[in-house]
Structure 1
Amino acid sequence: MEYATPEVLVDTEWVATQTPDENIRVVEVDYDPENSYRRGHIPGAVLMKWKSDINDTQS
Structure 2
Amino acid sequence: MRPRTPRNADDRRMRRNSLALTGMALATGALATAYDSRWHLGIGVWFLIAAILIELIHQP
- The TM-score bracket by the shorter chain reads under 0.3
Higher strand residue share: 1
Higher RCO (CA-CA < 8 Å; seq separation 6+)? 2
What is the TM-score with the length of structure 2 in the denominator? 0.26
TM-score, normalising length: structure 1: 0.26
Q: Which has the larger radius of gyration?
A: 2
Of Structure 1 and Structure 2, the greater helix share is in 2
